[in-house]
């Protein structure tokens, strides 16, 4: 549905209570998304910093991901319920920044051999922060949604990946040579995001999209396409974050890399994802979306199989590059599909769909750790292979659903 310009320019701003005016500055919003990406990759780099590659205590390590998933659920739920009542606190990244600082401080100052409860508490705080930041991101994206919705989503996704790239680079340069205490430097990031959010958005910024009635938004979850999209994100983010969580430990144990080189391998995987997603934006309107998705998933399976079978650094970097290239078009194509399927923007709907995906992303490395405790670290590659096959099935189901309903494929 195209909204006439006159409707856009004419307040009533009072009819948009979900996102108070003025909106958070765009730079602060991108800073919050960058912080979210950094938090999601932190557990994966902490495992080699703490020496879990020597202990082989995979099941114990997996509880850090479970604690973060629990914190994510708490942070997202609390922020969703409280943002309309306390917008000054919960629609700015102050709440998330506080828990981010607390989590980083505990993880940096209280590593093993301190009791594992301290590290689990730190991971829980990181999860609370990530859940809150996701709510903030989708509420404020609504203020920019009318510009070009696919581009807005793509930009925020690329910024989050850039944040995920920053964490392994910081670990390789600081934490592995000197210990986890040096990760205290990362506290500057949430502190800067919190301070930057206190500014005001430009007066000329577009107002937020008028909110859809919540009952109508709930009805959309009965739509098979919405359920399929949420499941697709659940498994795809599980694939990617499972690799982010266990790739360094896998490369150390199976390939014999040093911890520093293994963490650089994780950074290389994120860099390939970042480059591939940038390229996917140019391809999404020039080729059949389903062919790109299925071709990419085939490459990701090939890359994981190569990682599972290689015993040298060249094969490992080639495998992780293929996996990154294969995963890269899935997220942009799903975003483009979502923006065409939903003619409106509702922050609660988008948050629920993406929170489902990120929850799957945090539960996947937990599952890897539990199974690896019994079957070995090779399961870190076997699970993304199975996840890629499930995503391929969901892509085909979405195609069939679009054919049956006559909607956009």
Under the banding of pLDDT at 50, 70 and 90, the label for residue 138 is confident
Pick the more confident residue, 291 or 320: 320
CATH 1.20.1250.20 fits 19-405, yes or no: yes
- Supply the pTM of this predicted model: 0.86
The residues near 389 (Cβ < 8 Å, ≥ 6 apart) are 297, 301
Q: What pLDDT digit, counting tens, does each position of 153-165 carry?
A: 778 888 999 999 9
Task: Report the first-to-last Cα separation within the chain, whole angstroms.
Answer: 18
pLDDT digits (tens, 9 = 90+) for 23-73: 566 777 888 999 999 999 999 999 998 988 777 789 999 999 999 999 999
Average model confidence (pLDDT) across the chain: 81
Whether 304 and 239 have beta carbons less than 8 Å apart is answered as no
Identify the residue whose tokens are 């109508």.
216
* Cα–Cα distance for residue pair 4/2, rounded to 1 Å: 6
Q: Any idea which residue has 């599909």 for tokens?
A: 337
Preceding peptide of 206 cis, ω within 30°: no
Q: Looking at residue 210, what is its pLDDT? A: 45
pLDDT tens digits, one per residue of 316-337 = 999 999 999 999 888 877 777 7
Report the C-alpha gap between 128 and 106 in whole angstroms: 14
Crossing angle of helices 347-375/379-405, nearest 10°? 150
Mean pLDDT of 235-254: 91
Per the CB < 8 A criterion, the answer to whether 50 and 183 are in contact is no
């Amino acid at each position: 549905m195209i909204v006439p310009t006159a409707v856009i320019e004419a307040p009533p701003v009072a009819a948009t209570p979900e996102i108070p005016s003025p909106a958070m500055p765009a730079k602060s919003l991108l800073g919050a998304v960058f912080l979210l990406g950094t938090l999601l990759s932190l557990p994966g780099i902490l495992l080699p910093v703490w020496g879990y590659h020597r202990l082989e205590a995979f099941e114990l390590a997996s509880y850090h991901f479970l604690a973060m998933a629990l914190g994510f659920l708490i942070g997202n739920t609390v922020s969703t319920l409280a943002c309309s009542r306390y917008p000054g606190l919960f629609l700015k990244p102050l709440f998330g920044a506080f828990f981010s600082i607390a989590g980083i401080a505990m993880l940096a100052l209280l590593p093993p051999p301190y009791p594992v409860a301290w590290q689990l508490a730190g991971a829980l705080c990181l999860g609370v922060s990530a859940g809150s930041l996701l709510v903030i991101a989708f509420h404020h994206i609504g203020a920019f949604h009318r510009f070009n919705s696919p581009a807005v989503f793509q930009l925020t996704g690329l910024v989050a990946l850039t944040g995920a790239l920053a964490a392994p680079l910081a670990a390789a340069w600081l934490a592995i040579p000197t210990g986890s205490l040096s990760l205290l430097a990362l506290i500057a990031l949430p502190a800067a995001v919190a301070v930057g959010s206190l500014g005001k958005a430009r007066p000329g910024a577009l107002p937020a999209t008028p909110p859809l009635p919540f009952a109508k938004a709930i009805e959309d979850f009965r739509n098979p396409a919405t359920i399929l999209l949420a499941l697709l994100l659940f498994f795809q983010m599980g694939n990617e974050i499972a690799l982010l969580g266990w790739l360094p430990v896998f490369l150390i144990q199976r390939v014999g890399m040093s911890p520093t080189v293994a963490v650089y391998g994780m950074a290389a995987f994120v860099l390939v994802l970042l480059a591939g997603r940038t390229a996917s934006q140019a391809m999404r309107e020039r080729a059949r979306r389903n062919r790109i998705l299925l071709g990419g998933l085939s490459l990701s399976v090939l890359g994981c199989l190569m990682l599972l079978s290689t015993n040298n650094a060249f094969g490992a970097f080639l495998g992780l590059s293929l996996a990154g290239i294969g995963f890269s078009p899935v997220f942009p194509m799903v975003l483009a599909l979502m923006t065409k399927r939903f003619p409106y923007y509702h922050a609660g709907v988008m948050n629920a769909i993406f929170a489902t995906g990120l929850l799957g992303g945090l539960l996947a490395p937990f599952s890897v750790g539990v199974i690896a405790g019994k079957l070995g670290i090779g399961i870190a590659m076997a699970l993304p292979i199975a996840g890629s096959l499930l995503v391929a099935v969901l892509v085909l189901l979405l195609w069939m659903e679009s054919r049956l309903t006559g909607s956009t494929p």
